[in-house]
Structure 1
């Protein structure tokens, strides 16, 4: 039986999932709430890690050590970076990386990787879920997702990130989840719906689209659970 860990950073990112999946138990470990349930023939553990990479990494390791998950899906919202990515679009990670760690440090220090590759089967499931939910109001993209310890709301910083990393979107947890999943040999993928354009207008857009984007990402994850 598959056991799938699902991580969101904030309450709106996991609320729809909690409402759709049969939750039969709740645990609290190291301050994180873990909701244990099932969908079809799969065990599911949903958790909210809080903002930032340290929280995300800690929560991911607990999912692996204490709950023995076979794979991990990170769901949530992000700031769009690539010119093709629009608000409420969905980005499926093909790899993730830290934008606030020097590339040389990542390559020369454990685990000697400049990025962490997402699992092909999880990517395929996400694509199928996107196709089955697709409408003319949004598109899906497959690309790099970058993470760092700040909410990006500056057009100059956005330009530099695009130049240095060629990413599709930016957020604050995915690369840490991918990093921990990689060193534990656990398949992962990051699913993000766009709430803002990571520019000077980001805060206004985020406030308008946070819940809409969070629910869109959660809908794709629900579709994936039916496919996996």
Structure 2
């Protein structure tokens, strides 16, 4: 009768590691740092060039550069384009580095008709505009179950915006549409907004209006490059959006869950389909990227240690 008991004890002993708590992720650097992020190479050049004492660490193909930017300890990296990439790499940075604040720098499409290409916009909250339900079309119009539609935002044809249920949230709680920028970081952005000189020309290409820094309002993000006048008008009406990009709301989402202050600086490279001719992004991408980086460097310089 003792043999089965011995076998059971043996199995429990050697199976125990499978049920052990997972090991903590390796912290690669303990220095408190500001995470400075851009989506793709044209946006980050001026920021990496200004980072001194730089050292690069590769994590699963993502290159994290530590150093000092405008006197502040930073880790600078590319998120990759689009929402999943941005969420993944931001979480990687939070897991492996001691991140105190998250700052995004890049380009965007302009949605607010009062803004111009080259302007740098700092939204005070972000929404994921294509977190949505695609409605069934019937003889009586579109049909969306109340259990699927959890937002009062108006639809764009079959597309009905939804909020996001955060991990671990009570299903009875309202879904979240908006993800905030940090109020203290927004205040710092307001202080530096009038202190920076933005570029109006790049080689033989010049902007019609002198660019400016605008702090406040709504931004939206989705894994879609927007170049459509009708949907642009919809975003302005439904979300009161000032700009649209492909990453910021995802990073704001990750920052909120991790309780880490977040802010994004986006310079308008195009009008998201609102211009009279072809999309302007490739014409003004370099100028817009540099304008965003200029504001971000002034912002990081102004941050408290």
TM-score (norm 1): 0.93
The residue aligned with 2:211 is 138
Kindly indicate whether the alpha-carbon contact (under 8 Å) linking 1:23 and 1:35 is maintained by their aligned counterparts in 2.
Answer: no
Q: CA deviation at 1:129?
A: 2.3
SS of aligned partner of 1:185:
coil
1:35 equivalenced with 2:53 (yes/no): no
SS of aligned partner of 2:217:
strand
Distance (whole Å) between structure 2 residues aligned to residue 116 and residue 81 of structure 1: 19
Residues 127 and 15 of structure 1: CA distance in aligned 2, closer, same or farther (over 3 Å) = same
Structure 1 counterpart of 2:122, from 84, 92, 114? 92
- Identify which range, 155-164 or 211-220, moves more after superposition: 155-164
The residue aligned with 2:271 is 197
Kindly indicate whether the alpha-carbon contact (under 8 Å) linking 2:72 and 2:301 is maintained by their aligned counterparts in 1.
Answer: no
Structure 2 counterpart of 1:12, from 38, 42, 66? 42
Structure 2 counterpart of 1:173, from 229, 247, 258? 247
Q: CA deviation at 1:226?
A: 0.8
Structure 1 counterpart of 2:163, from 106, 111, 116? 106
Residues 83 and 30 of structure 1: CA distance in aligned 2, closer, same or farther (over 3 Å) = same
Kindly indicate whether the alpha-carbon contact (under 8 Å) linking 1:2 and 1:43 is maintained by their aligned counterparts in 2.
Answer: yes
Structure 2 counterpart of 1:186, from 252, 260, 267? 260
Which residues of structure 1 form unaligned runs of 5+?
A: none
Q: CA deviation at 1:204?
A: 3.5
Structure 1 counterpart of 2:285, from 178, 202, 210? 210
The residue aligned with 2:88 is 58
Q: CA deviation at 1:200?
A: 5.7
The residue aligned with 1:219 is 294
Q: CA deviation at 1:85?
A: 1.0
Q: What CA deviation, in whole Å up to 9, does each residue of 1:104-137 have, x standing for no partner?
A: 2425554642111111121122222221014671
Instruction: Tell me the matched-pair count.
Output: 228
Distance (whole Å) between structure 1 residues aligned to residue 217 and residue 43 of structure 2: 21
Distance (whole Å) between structure 2 residues aligned to residue 203 and residue 218 of structure 1: 25
Which residues of structure 2 form unaligned runs of 5+?
A: 1-30, 133-148, 151-161, 170-174, 199-208
Distance (whole Å) between structure 1 residues aligned to residue 108 and residue 92 of structure 2: 24
TM-score (norm 2): 0.71
Q: What CA deviation, in whole Å up to 9, does each residue of 1:51-107 have, x standing for no partner?
A: 100000001101111012001001100000011111000100200110000372425
The residue aligned with 1:3 is 33
- Which contiguous aligned blocks of 4+ residues in structure 1 show a shift greater than 3 angstroms? 107-112, 200-204
1:126 equivalenced with 2:185 (yes/no): no
The residue aligned with 2:112 is 82
